[in-house]
Chain A
Amino acid sequence: MRIRANIYKNIDWITILFYFLLVLIGWINIYAAVYNEEHRSIFDLTQNYGKQLIWISTSVILILIIMMVDANFFSTFSYIIYFLVILMLVAVLLVGKEIAGSRSWFQIWSFSLQPSEFAKFATCLALAKYLSTINVDMSKFKTKFVSTFIIIFPALLILLQHDTGSALVFFSLILVLFREGLSGSLLMIGVVVAILFILALLINKFILIGVLAIIAVMIYLLNRDIRKKLIWIIGVFIMASAYICSVNYAFENVLEPHQKKRINVLIGKEKDIRGAGYNIHQSKIAIGSGGFTGKGFLKGTQTKFDFVPEQSTDFIFCTIGEEWGYVGSFTLIILFVGLLIRLIFLAERQRSKFSRIYGYCVASILFFHFAVNIGMTIGLFPIIGIPLPFISYGGSSLWGFTILLFIFIKLDSIRLELL
Chain B
Amino acid sequence: MKRNLSDRKYVINAIFIIVGVIFLIRLLYIQVLDESYILSAESNVLRKNTIYPNRGLIYDRNEELLVYDEAAYDLMVIPRQVKQIDTVEFCMLLDITDSAFKAKMHKAKKYSIYKPTVFQAQISKEEYGYIQEKLYKFPGFYVQLRSLRKYPISIAAHTLGYIGEVNKKEIEKSRYYRQGDYIGKSGIEKFYEKELRGKKGTEIVMVDVHNREQGSYRNGRYDTLSEPGQNLYLSLDADLQAYGERLMQNKIGSIVAIDPKTGGILAFITSPVYDPNLLVGRVRGKNFNNLMNDSLKPLMNRAIMGTYPPGSTFKIVNAMVGLQEGVLREGTYYSCYGPATTPIRCTHDHVSPLALKEGIEQSCNPYFWNVFKSIINNPKYHSIKESFNSWRKHVTSIGFGSKFNTDIPFELNGNIPTSESYDKIYREGHWNALTIRSLAIGQGEILITPLQLANLVVIIANKGFYYPPHLVTAIGTKGNRIKEFNEKTETTIDPKHFKVIQEAMLNVFEGDHGTARWAKLEGVHICGKTGTVQNPHGKDHSMFIAFAPKDDSEIAISVIVENSGYGSTWAAPIASLLIEKYLNDTISRPYIEKRILEGNLISRN
A residues with a Cβ closer than 8 A to B are 175, 178-181, 184, 274, 282, 284-292, 301-302, 304-307, 321-322, 325-326, 329-330, 333-334, 336-337, 340-341, 344, 347-348, 360, 363, 367, 370-371, 374-375, 378-380
Q: Could you say which residues of chain A place their CB within 8 Å of the CB of B6?
A: 348
- Which residues of B are in contact with A by a Cβ distance under 8 Å? 5-6, 8-9, 11-13, 15-17, 19-20, 22-24, 26-28, 30-32, 34, 36-38, 40-42, 44-45, 83, 206-210, 214
Asked whether A378 and B214 contact (CB < 8 A) given A179-B9, A287-B37, A289-B37, the answer is no
> Which of A285, A290, A325, A380 touches B40 (beta carbons < 8 Å)?
A285
Q: Is the CB of B207 within 8 A of A375?
A: no
Question: Which residues of A lie under 8 Å from residue B22 when comparing CB positions?
Answer: 380
Which residue from A184, A286, A330, A336 sits with its C-beta under 8 Å from B41?
A286
Q: Is the CB of B30 within 8 A of A330?
A: no
Check if A380 sits within 8 Å of B26, measured CB to CB: yes
Given contacts A348-B9, A378-B23, contact A287 B206 (CB under 8 A): no
Inter-chain pairs besides A291-B38, A344-B12, A367-B15, 9 sampled, C-beta below 8 Å: A288-B38, A292-B31, A304-B214, A305-B209, A306-B210, A325-B31, A340-B13, A340-B16, A341-B13
CB–CB A336/B8 < 8 A: no
Whether B12 pairs with A287 at a CB distance below 8 angstroms is no
Residue pair B31, A290 in contact (C-beta under 8 Å): yes
A184, B15: Cα distance in complex, Å: 13
Q: How far is the CB of B46 from chain A (nearest CB, A)?
A: 8
Cβ contact within 8 Å between B27 and A336:
no
Contacts A288-B38, A302-B45; A321 near B27 (Cβ below 8 A):
yes
Contact B16 A321 (CB under 8 A): no
Given contacts A288-B37, A337-B16, contact A330 B44 (CB under 8 A): no
B27 near A329 (CB under 8 angstroms)?
A: yes
29 contacts across the A-B interface (CB closer than 8 A): A175-B12, A178-B12, A286-B41, A287-B30, A288-B38, A289-B37, A289-B38, A289-B40, A301-B44, A302-B41, A305-B45, A305-B206, A306-B208, A321-B31, A325-B31, A333-B20, A333-B24, A333-B27, A337-B19, A340-B13, A344-B9, A344-B16, A347-B9, A360-B12, A363-B16, A378-B26, A378-B27, A378-B30, A379-B26
Nearest-Cβ distance from residue A359 to partner chain B, whole angstroms: 10
**B36 — which chain A residues lie within 8 A by C-beta?**
288
B20 touches A336 (CB 8 A): yes
In the complex, the answer to whether A337 meets B20 with C-beta atoms within 8 Å is: yes
Are B5 and A284 in touch, CB under 8 angstroms?
no
Within the complex, which residue of A179, A288, A292 is in contact with B5, where a contact is CB–CB below 8 Å? Answer: A179
Q: Establish whether residues A301 and B206, one from each chain, have CB atoms under 8 Å apart when the complex forms.
A: yes
Contact B13 A302 (CB under 8 A): no
Which chain B positions have C-beta within 8 A of A291?
Answer: 31-32, 38
Min CB distance, B15 to chain A, in Å?
A: 8
Minimum distance in angstroms from B412 CB to a CB of chain A: 56
CB within 8 A of A284: which of B30, B83, B206, B210?
B30
Residue from B12, B24, B83, B210 within 8 A of A274 (CB atoms):
B83
Closest to A286 in B: B41
Q: Give complex CA distance A175, B19 in Å.
A: 14
By the criterion CB–CB under 8 Å, are B23 and A333 in contact?
yes
Alpha-carbon distance between A367 and B44 when the two chains are bound, in angstroms: 33
B37 lies within 8 A of A285 (CB): yes
Contact A375 B31 (CB under 8 A): no
Residue of A nearest to B16 (CB): A340
Query: Chain B residues with Cβ under 8 A from A330's Cβ?
Result: 24, 27
- Bound-state CA distance A178–B24 (Å) is 26
Q: A305-B45, A306-B208, A333-B23 are in contact. Are A292 and B37 (CB under 8 A)?
A: no
Tell me if A326 and B19 are in contact (CB < 8 A).
Answer: no
| Interchain CA distance A287-B209 in the complex, whole Å | 17
Q: Whole-angstrom distance from the CB of A165 to the nearest CB of chain B? A: 17
Chain B residues in 8 Å Cβ range of A375 = 19, 23
CA distance A179 to B34 in the complex (A): 39
* Contact status A326-B206, CB under 8 Å: no
Chain B residue nearest to A380 (CB atoms) is B26
With A333-B20, A334-B20, A378-B23 in contact, is A326–B28 under 8 Å at CB?
Answer: yes
The answer to whether A288 and B16 have CB atoms under 8 Å apart is no
Please give me the residue from chain B that is nearest to A339 by CB atom: B16
Q: Report how far A371 CA is from B12 CA in the complex, Å.
A: 14
B266 → chain A closest CB, angstroms: 59
Looking at the assembled complex, report how far the CB atom of A274 sits from the nearest CB atom of chain B, in whole angstroms: 6
The answer to whether B32 touches A292 (Cβ under 8 A) is yes
* Closest B residue to A356 using CB positions: B6
Check A367–B41 contact: CB distance below 8 A.
no
Q: Shortest distance in angstroms between B394's beta carbon and chain A's nearest beta carbon? A: 73
B30 contact set on A, CB distance < 8 A: 284, 287-288, 378-379
**Docked-complex contact B16 and A341, CB < 8 angstroms:** yes
The 7 closest A-B pairs by CB, nearest first: A288-B37, A289-B41, A305-B208, A337-B20, A288-B30, A326-B31, A301-B45
Q: Whole-angstrom distance between the alpha carbons of A336 and B12 in the complex?
A: 14
- A325 vs B210: C-alpha distance in the bound complex, in angstroms? 25
A340: chain B residues at CB < 8 Å are 13, 16
A291 CB to closest chain B CB (Å) equals 6
List, in ascending order, chain A residues with CB within 8 A of B28's CB: 326
- Hey, which chain A residues are within 8 Å of B31, CB to CB? 287-288, 290-292, 321, 325-326, 329
Q: How far is the CB of B510 from chain A (nearest CB, A)?
A: 82
Q: Return A172 CB to nearest CB of chain B, in Å.
A: 11
CB contacts (< 8 Å) of A292 on chain B: these are 31-32
- When distances are taken between beta carbons in the complex, the residues of chain B under 8 Å from A348 are 6, 9
Contact between B208 and A367, CB atoms less than 8 A apart:
no
Known interface pairs A274-B83, A285-B40, A307-B209; A179-B45 also in contact (CB < 8 Å): no
Name the CB-closest residue of A to B215. A37
Cα distance, A95 to B32, chains bound together (Å): 48
Task: For the complex formed, measure the closest distance between the CB of B290 and the CB atoms of chain A, giving whole angstroms.
Answer: 45
A301 to B19, CA, bound (A): 29
Q: Give every chain A residue within 8 A of B20 (Cβ-Cβ).
A: 333-334, 336-337
Residues of chain A contacted by B19 (CB below 8 angstroms): 337, 367, 370-371, 375
Complex interface: chain B residues within 8 A of A289 (CB): 37-38, 40-42
Neighbouring B residues of A288 by C-beta, 8 Å: 30-31, 34, 36-38, 40-41
The smallest C-beta distance from A372 to any residue of chain B, in angstroms, reads: 10
Q: Which residue of A lies closest to B41 (CB)?
A: A289
Q: Which residue of chain A is the closest to B26 with respect to CB atoms?
A: A378
> Closest approach, in angstroms, between the C-beta of B560 and any C-beta of chain A?
65
How distant is B1 from chain A, measured CB to nearest CB, in Å? Answer: 13
The chain B residue with its CB closest to the CB of A360 is B12
Return chain B residues, CB-CB under 8 Å to A371: 19
